[in-house]
Chains A and B, each alone.
Chain A
Amino acid sequence: MSVKSNPKIALIGNPNAGKSSLFNQLTGLSQKVGNFPGVTVEKRSGHCRLDEFMTAKIIDLPGAYSIYARCNDEKVAVDILGHPRHEYFPDILVFIADASNLNRSLLLFTQVKDLGVPVVLALNMLDLAEQAGIEVDIAKLRDALQVQVVPINARTGEGLDDLKTLLANPVKKLCSPLYDTEPLAKKSIAEVKEKFDIQNSYQAYQLLQQGEASTVLSTEEKEWLQQLKNKSRFRSADLQAKETLGRHRLIHQLVRSVTTQKQTGFRLLFGKIDRWLTHPSWGYLFFVALLFVLFQLVFAIGHYPMLRLDAVFAWLTSAVHDLLPNGFINSLLTRGILPALAGVFVFIPHLLVFYTFVALLEESGYMSRVIMLMDKLMRFFGLTGRSAVPLLSNAACGVPAILASRECSSWREKLSGIFITPLVNCSNRLPVYIILIALFVPYENYLGIINLQGLVLLGMYFFSFIAAVLSSWILKLLVKTREEDYLMMELPYFTSPYWKDIWKIVKDSLYGFSLQAVRTVIPVSVIFWALLNFSPTMQEEVALVHKSDFSFAPALEDSLFSPDASYARQLGSFIEPVVSPLGFDWQIGLAILSSFAAREAFIGSMATIYSQETNFPTHSIIERIESNVNPHTEEGSYALATVFSLLVFYAFAMQFFNMLGRLMRNGSSWWAPLLQLVFMTGLAYISAYIVFQVFS
């Protein structure tokens, strides 16, 4: 068979079979993250050099247990693999199977194989199988499945060279289906084959089963399929059950013939601990204790490296200040852009600790226990256990995390997702909280080890959580819908963390956050610098300065940094009466305005605003903010009340522009986000007001 010089290769397999590890191993640094066309399902792709002549394009398909899709994620796989004319239809499919559980892995495998996609079986986790006393006869497996089998270790990269060689030199042979679906609906399959001009029976059968969800077929073709199904009484659910049972029977026989099970003294690590982790009282206690320790460590470990980074930025700022001649550029850099960047980047140590812990929790399998633990409680409020996880999960942000949830969910859950998400403490929000808290809450220790910042973060977490749960409950009372969801999921055994994968997740999260922050913070700081340094009357002053001798340059600087007449001050005095009941001064009020664009923007604008005085002895962003935000340090409670009020405001205030864009793409009407904005801002204002009044 002739091979294209740049073959398209897709990866598929069960969740937890090691698909992401293999993808990382194959593509290395060339990864790209996007969306599959038409759906909000994340598409990861990259390039892999197979040999000196060939580079393959690798696409990572979402993990699934079978070809029958129940959510957008799974639909992508059947949509692509069921239609050879789909733009992402692979030249070769790599199926990653968990050798320690072939029975489960092979269900999806036999389905994709029968679809006629050229497939290679990568047998992963042989070490785990060996521990459990399972021995797999690879030659027998190859003959039984009529497919190339490569033993690999996706974590260490063992066997990858063999896999690449095989992918570069594929052997294609026609073979009979492993499980023949033709007897299930003989006549309809024949009609579909003729109409769509396809040879493969299972492909035809799948068009009957799931053709209506396809993005490739035209409406007319879908109607034709529907009519055929009605005419021939094609009962999808019954046939699916029959097929699944039939395939399982076949697989069980096959697995028995290719594996030998030995008795071993193998015992599961922490087999008993699950009982405690999901215990109705100990389980919650452990979860809270874990969060407490995690948040404490974020600030305890992050604090000292942060001070170092702050010193570096201060040094850099004063160096730039001394190096460049006085003027606009100097001022823009040292009082606008650099302080704003410092405001975000000095907190990288905190975020590094935070992301590492979250990745550890996810990779260890603890998150699944939290889902189980929370399920009953969350269902009372109209959510499922899964909704508890996006709070901590690494998923980009709450909106896509819930709308296109990794695990399937009912449309009602998605609907409440739209309205509840702004209230939920999504992962994008926690890092911003961490920065806000590190900036504004003083670093104080109680009893020597418990730091105030960690406590405040824990408080914020629960505050947002309760707000989310309550609003979901209200929604449940308002919207009556039939529940269609299910919890059923595989509970992964606890595994020791694999640092390479952890580091990859942490790196991606940090990079993603920094990129987003830089994109928002720089333009915001430039705008704020301009607002602070220009005034309606300034044109005349500058003109005056230009007319006169150049030795008047200091005069220019003076006019630049007397912000009393600036646009910012005028805008601020307009806002001040609105925000002063919340304990905010005009500077905070202005910064809050900017944060409607994105949460990170607030940090940038605060840093810019407080970097304006020329005579300030230091360029350290931490010291500047401390001395400015807490001007009433003698009445410490007043300052803290302002900080709490600010944080609570943040728990509710939404990032309008971000949200709007996402909702538009998800096909909502224009008024829904607008309604959301009014509602959320109102809620934010009222609760911040209450908090400030209580604490001051």
Chain B
Amino acid sequence: MNIVKARGKGRSVADLELGEKGIIKQLRQNRWTIKLLEMGCLPGTEVSLRFKTTSGGPLCIDVCGHSLSLRTEEAQALSLVE
């Protein structure tokens, strides 16, 4: 299963540049995991960063056909395929 306990070493969705695309590799197990899965953030899905507010503030990604706003911590739970 692509849900891991530890935090991955590589980049996460929070590290995406404006407009950059990436593919979700795995989800870090935490209290948001199920909610992220429900909102379509599945391993193997393509995401792209639509816009960021302040650094460390919420950001907005396009995933699974809709826009999703996430906090930085929430986005960090989604690690990307290198």
A binding-site residues for B, Cβ under 8 Å: 65-66, 68, 70, 100-101, 103-104, 107, 237, 240-242, 244-245, 248, 274-275, 278-280, 283, 368, 371-373, 375-376, 385, 484, 486-493
Contacts and interface: CB of A to CB of B under 8 A. Distances in A.
Contacts of B33: 237, 241
A245 B37 CA distance: 7
Interface string B38-72: 11101100000011011011101000111111110
B53 A376 contact: yes
Given A237-B33, A241-B33, A491 B54 contact: no
A371 B31 CA distance: 21
B31 A484 contact: yes
Contact of A275 (B51, B54, B64): B51
A372 to B, nearest CB: 5
13 contacts: A100-B65, A107-B38, A241-B37, A245-B43, A274-B51, A274-B60, A375-B71, A376-B54, A376-B56, A376-B57, A489-B68, A491-B67, A491-B68
Given A65-B38, A244-B38, A248-B42, 16 more contacts: A65-B39, A66-B34, A70-B35, A101-B64, A104-B64, A248-B40, A274-B51, A280-B53, A375-B53, A376-B53, A376-B54, A486-B35, A486-B71, A487-B70, A487-B74, A490-B68
A442 B38 CA distance: 53
Interface of B: 1-3, 29, 31-40, 42-43, 50-51, 53-54, 56-58, 60, 64-71, 74
B34 to A, nearest CB: 5
Contact of B65 (A101, A242, A248, A488): A101
Contacts of A490: 39, 66-69
A280 B54 contact: yes
B57 to A, nearest CB: 4
A372 B68 CA distance: 11
Nearest to A275: B51
Top-3 shortest CB links A-B: A376-B57, A491-B67, A275-B51
A242 B29 CA distance: 12
A372 B60 contact: yes
Contacts of B56: 376
A103 B64 contact: yes
Contacts of A372: 53, 57-58, 60, 69
The secondary structure that dominates the A interface is helix
A242 B56 CA distance: 30
Contacts of A280: 53-54, 57
A107 B38 CA distance: 8
A248 B41 CA distance: 10
A375 B69 CA distance: 11
A385 B37 contact: no
A492 B69 CA distance: 10
B31 A488 contact: no
Contacts of A107: 38
A14 to B, nearest CB: 10
A240 B31 contact: no
A237 B34 contact: yes
